[in-house]
Amino acid sequence: MTVVAARGVVKTYGTGRGARRVLDGADLEVGAGEVVAILGRSGSGKSTLLHLIGGLDRPEAGSIEVAGERVDGASEQRLSALRRRRIGFVFQFFHLLPELSGEANVLLAGRVRGARADAGERGRELVDRLGLRDVAESLPSRLSGGEQQRFAIARALVNDPALLLADEPTGNLDADSAAEVLRLLRAGASDGRAVVLVTHEQAAAEIADRVVTLREGRLVG
């Protein structure tokens, strides 16, 4: 089953002579249970493509579907609902709320309108499964980078999304923590979801079923 279908995606930053087209007809298709790694030089548009797929930004042209729902052209209300129900995000900078414990950050994602009815139970199970119970009540400032990213992954998975988008998820981690995060992302695909991973690290690309490179605004490979 196809989870991501992006066709002819165009995105330009700036206007006039200063305009730069970072995506120029990019195509990407990702199936359920598949991990796809996107490589490319810094500034090539990798993160931009992830933001467009996740409905955090809008393309100028092309079409994007996630789990059969159109992303391009959708209203903000529909995009918000789609992100809550179908898409999980993991970023390089963990974006945990500093005043909440690690577990509370996870459970908060299950309390938004439209969340799964069993999100609270699922969140606690994820904290246990990801080996975080001993530090569940700790504030982010007391957690290691690897622990913070594992909580971020639990938060991303709490509503059991069809798609997990990961933007340089190991960029701030030591080798051991990075390896654990990559194992968890790979396991996320084993549960039947699609995973799209933006990275510049070879170790991250090695967990992928398919590696594509963003070059001159298009995906090749």
H/E stretch holding 202 reads helix 202-205
- Taking a C-beta distance cutoff of 8 angstroms, is the pair 82, 46 a contact? no
With respect to residue 181, please indicate whether it lies within any of the assigned structural domains: yes
* Spatial distance between the Cα atoms of 86 and 175, rounded to a whole number of angstroms: 30
Per the domain annotation, does 107 fall within a domain? yes
And the tokens for 200?
A: 């510049």
Do the domain assignments include residue 22?
no
Spatial neighbors of 175 by CB under 8 A, at least 6 apart, are 203
Where residue 114 falls among pLDDT bands split at 50, 70, 90? low
Would residue 4 count as lying in a domain? no
Give the pLDDT of residue 192.
86
Q: Is the pTM of this model over 0.85?
A: yes
Residue 105 lies in a domain: yes
109 pLDDT more than 80: no
Structural domain contains residue 94: yes
pLDDT at residue 133 tops 90 = yes
Q: Residue 171 belongs to what domain range?
A: 34-58+79-220
Residue 95 counted as domain residue: yes
Q: Residue 138's pLDDT is what? A: 97
In angstroms, rounded to a whole number, what is the distance separating the alpha carbons of residues 173 and 30? 27
The mean of the pLDDT values for the chain is 89
CATH code of the domain in which 169 resides: 3.40.50.300
Per the structure, the count of domains in the chain is 1
Model confidence pLDDT, tens digit, residues 55-106: 989 999 999 999 999 998 888 988 888 888 899 999 888 889 999 999 999 9
- Report the C-alpha gap between 161 and 98 in whole angstroms: 24
What number of other Cβ atoms are within 10 A of residue 194's Cβ? 26
